[in-house]
Chains A and B, each alone.
Chain A
Amino acid sequence: DISLLPSGSLLALSHLGKAVDSLKDFPQSASEDEEAIDGERNHQKLLEKIGYLDGKNRLAERSEASLQVSEFSVSNEGTGEQLDLAELLGPIKSSSSMGTVKKQLKKVKNKKTVDLPLSKEERERISREAAYNKISQDMTKWDPVVLKNRRAAQLVFPLEQDGVLENCIGEVLGSWKARTPLEKEIFNLLHQNKQPLTDPLLTPVEKESLKAMSLEEAKQRRAELQKARALQSYYEARARREKKIKSKKFHKVLKKRNDKKILKNFEELRKVDPTSALEELAKMERARIQERMSLKHQNKGKWAKSKVIMAKYDLEARKAMQEQLLKNKELTQKLKVPSDSEHDEDAEEENGLIPDIVNEVQISTDGPNPWMQRNHGITTKTPPIQKEPLSSEESELEEDEKANEEEEALLQELIERRSLRKGSEVDQAPRRTEETEEVLAELRTLSEQINKKAKKRQDGEQSVNSSSAVSKEPSIQREEQPSLDERPERVQTMEALDTLGLDEAVQEQKVLEPEQEHRPSKQKSPLKKKKEPMAALHTIISGKTHQANPLSAPIVVEEEDCDEDATQRQIIKEAFAGDDVIADFQKDKLEAEKASKPKEIDLSLPGWGQWGGPGLVISARKRRRFLVKAPKGSARKDQCLPNVVISEKRNIQAAAHQVNVLPFPFTHQGQFEETIKVPVGATWNTQRAFQKLTAPRIVTRPGYIIEPIKEKDVESSPSHWAHQPYRGKARLHGYSPPPPKERSIKESPITHQLITHTPPLLPPQKKKKNLATMSTGDEASFWK
């Protein structure tokens, strides 16, 4: 082996050895023959070299016996013996100067002869093996990752996600600093107001308020808020509802009412709060201006024009037109500004100065025809009339009120009608407590009324006291009552007890008792009546109920009951003596057993191997020999149950739905059944559990490229995909993953070469990719 060659003197020595060997008739190849001359020369050189091996110590005189003695070389020619190295070593034994050489020679002696260089195939095989080992070792680093991904309940692709959220929020907030001027300004403000910077949930004020407010208060406040909200929503709902109403009349009336209300309010306001009244006035003024600007209530519109045509013939149309015009007038009427007291006084003075008649005239000229003014006139008249005596005012108010009442009544009616309609559509809405109390009260009164009626009726019955009347009575009653008698009797009976007293009730019962069988007891009331049917029930239910409380029940009764039982049994036995149910059943069962048993097959052929003819009898031996016995099946399920026949047939159609292969990793059916034991559906699980159980095994984020796992990820941190929460932190502390190790393959060029030249192995890149893809796609389905 070339690589084993030593250097220096040892090299020379081994050359020597070789030379010695070559001195023997070493088989020479053809090429060597050709280079024989060169060989000679080399030989000479070698010899010279040996001669100069040790410059100081010249070779000692040789004294061996040999046929050819040369002073230059040692030859064993002619002796026919091989030269032994030991012989050569003998002379140098004594001289200490040759020690090192001796040692080296000894080493050479221990070495066996050098092997032949390996054949090319073998060499390649070995190198392949080495490369395989190397690479498979290299590949093991993927194992934990692959295994982990296989075991993972859910994989989210792409696997590498930025773990920003994983970091502690506090840290992020802590490290964050205000940079832009806006941010700085905001922070300054926050600092000044002692607002929390990092802890944004509660401000100090809020915290304080939290401390200040007790739970009770908070609850109360919350309740108030809730109530307010509810009220608001209630009003909103109401407004919406009213808005939906299509009746024009309703809206008209409503509007009028509102107007009136506003006016009233205004009056009050003027007295109480003049400034706000002024505002109101301004509003009115504004409305006037708008009216003047628009032509809304003049006879220019489409509707007005049509009405003009109709007005000639139609009283209603005329009225409508006039009303509209009135409205126009009303709106365009200039309002007096009553705000200042001075003004008021002025006005009073003016009023005082100008005679009433003038005013009236003015009004009459300004305003519409007096006959057109019906309910109107409040707006126009009230300001001047203020000074008029109270009585007139009152009377007018009364008039107003009357009108109001009428309208109110109308409105009420409308609403009621509406609610009625609704009530018929929608089933009875559940009521609140207040309402229920009302209902209760109503019920009570109702029940009292009914009671009285019933009493009267009963009185009548008593007086008539004839069965015919009684028989008629219930039918009438039935007619009177709705088909569902819900009987609010609870109250009724109590009341009856209270009012009537016991005696009367008993009397009634006495009267009613004979009727009971015919008539369902409607007015079930107390005691006697209750006891009577109970006693009947006790007789119906046999003695065992009595046995339950032996202290109270006499023993004799029990015996009687037993006797009764026995006699009854006897009677029943006699009644069913004819059909023997049990025997029938047993027969059935036997048949079923027979049918389900596998049958034996008799293969014996009569007449085979014996004389045929009439009177043929197959021998028992033969029959036994040709009888194929049925396999002994398992015992019947109903073997020990005499009163039951359980079918042994298999439900094949149901079996079609069952799993009939054992899936891959399992070796026993019990193992598989264990894994499908837990139901997955939402019917059997809570919502969260259901979601978890049915979570998809692989989730891909749309719009993301799914890349194979990178090598560096694996090498840097094998637990990378576990989303370690402190990953970011580690970086903050200056931890950096060690640089990926230079692969040892690249260190030695030879092995590198070997790898590149080995055909049966995949190039490392490709192999890796394969694994990575497997871990993501195909493998997932495989592992399912």
Chain B
Amino acid sequence: MEAAPKPGSGAHVKGQGKKQKPRRYWEGGNDEAHPLPDKGSKRKWEERPQPKDAQVPKKPKQIREPRPKQKQELSSKQTQKVLRSKQTQKVLRPKQNLKDCNSDQKQELKPNQTLSGAQDPFPGPAPVSENAVNKFRRGGSKFVTKQPLKLVTKDKLKVAASEEEETSVRAARAELLLSEEPGFLEGEDGEDTATIHQSDIVEAVDIASAAKHFDLNLHQFGPYRLNYSRTGRHLALGGRRGHVATFDWITKKLMCEINVMEAVRDIRFLHTETLFAVAQKRWLHIYDNQGIELHCVRRCDRVTRLEFLPFHFLLATASETGFLTYLDVSVGKIVASLMARAGRLDVMTQNPHNAVIHLGHSNGTVSLWCPAMKEPVVKILCHRGGVRAVAVDSSGTYMATSGLDHQVKIFDLRGKYQPLTARALPQGAGHLAFSQRGLLAGGMGDVVTIWRGQGQGGFPSLDQPYLTHRPHGHIHSLQFCPFEDVLGAGHSRGFTSILVPGAGEPNFDGLESNPYRSRKQRQEWEVKALMEKIPAELIGLDPRNLGEIDVISLEQKKKERVERLGFDPEAKAPFQPKQKKKGRSSTANLVKRKIKVKDQEHREQVRQSLQQQQQQQKKLQTSQSTGPPPSALDRFKR
């Protein structure tokens, strides 16, 4: 859909490289797994640079706001084209199983002949670039084989390797289906993107996207907390003075709106949009999508912040009393209640990578918690003053914190926990939020600032803001909408939805979180998700731990077994000298022989280690010997 050109300006629609006709329902070609969500009008974006001679001098900039986001199957011809063009890269062909090989042989016998007589112009499976495949590999092998392996072991390892290869090749192939590209915002020749106003963006994008920028003028019930559902389709608002509402924010269809007649501290959707939890003045309440109160959880009292861990079905609550409580919403049990010993807790976020809860404290530390541990797994000193806000990016690599010392810092969470960048802001940020693609939003007073990183996977650089916006009230909460280029800001005078090109992930997983899912699909997803629920005790810093052998208990078991048996069945038998005749087997002689063998073994070991050292030194020398050759006089150098 193209926006109608303005009557007066003489603008013409340009850049139709990706022109898409609206889809009719009879136009097939969609995979069944992802039923067509919305006919047509949803998924277009336009490229409409303003003409240079337009009246507004500031405009010319390119804004692309891609709309999600559906797996599309390109026709085979297109794929061929795409892949042929990459022939400079090294290409891989997946290993074929036996049957495929046989069919290949057949092909050799009758080249390119099919039953219908038509010839396949591109026989065989399409090539895949190695870079794409490497992305899906699960890391190299950790162990090095010194001794020759058993045949059986070798077989198993070979099978595992081939499986990995095949799955990664398949995954790389399937990447073709991720057809949507992220949006971006570019200023024209050195123009600062931070100076671009929301209205400019709204003008430049298509109507559907423009409609995503809106204000809710709710001045009565005080500063608002907000939460988007996991699919990004629904929005829950909770006003300090008791106003609670949930609605489908894209169609603006209200689901429920109530006033709980009590202070509302926080609001959060549970696993689906049909349930949401509200932290009220005294207790935690759970409502359904019609606003009917389902539960009042009295064990979670005076809750200040809520976090929902979707894969574990845990609702984490931080309370004024200093408790961090995990509530399993699938069975309604409290899994763990941890005493943080750090006073009132009102800064909390979750690490989406490993479901660890981050709490910010008034003594400038951020503590990381998991329900199975009674003490914080990690405690990081971040600020001189108290911590005001914490946010963790979607890959779980970076943590942004802001403190009372007006600093915003970004920490590396990959083992070192060191600050990567820091920046002092005039007022300090009261709220922080990471987007799916790594944009960082900070709320300072009544200003929202968004920072962007350089390149994919990097942390946002705090030097230069990417966008700024000033809603009408003081910011009370911030969250990026998943799968949309939208930042939601709850403030004292309502709610503002801000367009941030390039914030959301353009391709969604239709089976995981589908913004267009029907009720039936949601129900099916719910069942599946419940079946795949991860036990709460598995939460830890490294989620890959589960794939490793528990070495400590392995050794413990071994030790116990040795104790039980009285000997080590796997140990190498010690040298036992043979009995010899004619007085040569005297005790002294036996001992001598034993020592001799022992010494020999020792010598062998020493020899080997020496060899290794020498090799290492050689390597070092070869690496170092880039400079001029050493002269004899070097020894007199000082």
Contact = CB atoms under 8 A, between A and B. Distances in A.
Contacts of A692: 166
Nearest to A494: B6
Interface stretch (A125-133, A449-457, A478-486, A763-771): A478-486
Interface in A53-92: none
Contacts of B418: 641, 643
Interface string A436-451: 1100100000000000
B516 to A, nearest CB: 11
Given A490-B210, A647-B375, A658 B549 contact: yes
Contacts of A536: 470
B256 interface: no
B214 interface: yes
Contacts of A565: 424
B1 A436 contact: yes
B194 interface: yes
Contacts of A537: 194, 447, 468, 470
A665 B152 contact: yes
B41 A665 contact: no
Contacts of B157: 671, 674-675
Interface string B259-284: 00000000000000000000000000
B298 interface: no
A598 to B, nearest CB: 15
A503 interface: no
Contacts of B102: 724-725
A645 interface: yes
Contacts of B143: 668-671, 674
B352 interface: no
Interface residues of B, number: 131
B553 interface: yes
Contacts of A487: 213-215
Interface stretch (A101-109, A403-411, A680-688): A680-688
A131 B142 CA distance: 49
A722 B98 contact: yes
B79 to A, nearest CB: 15
B38 to A, nearest CB: 5
Contact of B379 (A645, A660, A667): A645
A465 interface: no
Contacts of B8: 498
Given A484-B214, A678-B163, A686-B170, A670 B552 contact: no
Interface string A387-430: 00000000000000000000000000000000000000001111
A585 B378 CA distance: 13
B582 interface: no
B215 A544 contact: no
A651 B540 contact: yes
Given A644-B379, A674-B142, A534 B197 contact: yes
Interface in A533-589: 533-534, 536-537, 540-542, 544-545, 547-549, 565, 568-569, 572-573, 575-576, 579, 581-582, 584-585, 588
Interface stretch (B22-30, B61-69, B85-93, B589-597): B22-30
A433 B1 contact: yes
A568 B197 CA distance: 29
Nearest to B417: A644
B141 A576 contact: no
B524 interface: no
Contacts, number: 301
B444 A540 contact: yes
A230 B24 contact: yes
Contacts of A520: 215, 217, 472, 493
A151 B98 CA distance: 13
A233 interface: yes
B185 interface: no
A668 B197 CA distance: 61
Contact of A568 (B24, B40, B55, B426): B426
Contacts of B404: 576
Which of B115, B248, B493 has the most A CB atoms < 10 Å from its CB? B115
| Shortest Cβ-Cβ A-B pairs, 10 listed | A670-B143, A653-B537, A520-B472, A658-B550, A201-B116, A675-B160, A230-B26, A665-B152, A660-B553, A653-B372
15 contacts: A168-B106, A428-B251, A429-B39, A436-B41, A487-B215, A534-B468, A641-B418, A643-B381, A651-B373, A658-B549, A665-B152, A674-B160, A677-B160, A678-B160, A685-B167
Interface of B: 1, 3-4, 6-9, 22, 24-27, 38-42, 55-56, 98-99, 102, 105-106, 115-117, 138-139, 141-143, 149-150, 152-153, 155-157, 159-161, 163-164, 166-167, 170-171, 173-174, 190, 192, 194-195, 197, 199-200, 202-203, 207, 210-211, 213-218, 248, 251-253, 363-365, 370, 372-373, 375-385, 404-406, 416-418, 423-427, 444-445, 447, 449, 462-465, 468, 470, 472, 493, 511-512, 532, 535, 537-540, 545-554, 557
Given A541-B468, A686-B171, 7 more contacts: A437-B4, A537-B447, A540-B444, A581-B364, A644-B381, A670-B141, A723-B99
